[in-house]
Amino acid sequence: MKRKRSIYPLLMIFAIVMLTACGCAKKTVPPPPPGYGPENGAGMGGPSSGEMGGVSGDKWKRLGITSEAQKREFEDRAAAFENQDVYFDFNGYTLSDPAKRILDQKIDFLKRYSAVSVTIEGNCDERGTEEYNLALGERRADASKQYITTAGGGNFQLKTVSYGKERPVSTGHDEAAWAKNRRDHFALKY
């Protein structure tokens, strides 16, 4: 009987050791994303030269970009495109002369990079009802789209959306803040 008692602790220790050894599965490291790693000539894990900054080479080729200099030019022009909004008068959706000049610059960009798509986002200030501002934002976005389509003469990939007063860039409650919110914003997708 004494012998049986001394075997149980040994069996328990053996079972714990076996469960611990067999229970832990080997951890596998997922492979790097395509275009990364030394096998692709990328060195220390950065994108390979064919990837041009992490965006697939096919996407850049579709945009007509074949060199790093062209890529930098595109990125600079795309940033300017998205950071330059068109502004409107209170309760208005008629394009002013400065707005048309900005849209002409956007047309030049779209002619050069015809594979990009653009969402024109119509926005309003906080005054007015939600329904009114959504309708006004839609008219503003449509006015910019119509101008680009007519003056640009191209088959551009444009869509419009109205955010009304839901996405203000300035949260103030005065004319200066409201003037910043009466705008069309242009978002690129490429």
Q: Which helix (H) or strand (E) holds 73?
A: helix 68-83
The third-level CATH classification (topology) of the domain covering 67-189 is 60s Ribosomal Protein L30; Chain: A; (3.30.1330)
| Residue type present at position 70 | Q
Instruction: Please state the domain extents for the chain.
Output: 1-62, 67-189
* 3-class DSSP assignment, residue 81: helix
Q: What is the pLDDT of residues 136-175, one digit of tens each?
A: 999 999 999 999 999 987 789 999 999 999 999 999 999 9
Rounded to two decimals, the pTM is: 0.69
Q: How far apart are CA 50 and CA 23, in angstroms?
A: 43
Strand partners, 123: 164
**Count of other CB atoms within 10 angstroms of residue 146:** 13
Give percent of the chain above pLDDT 90: 61
Strand partners, 145: none
| Residue type present at position 177 | A
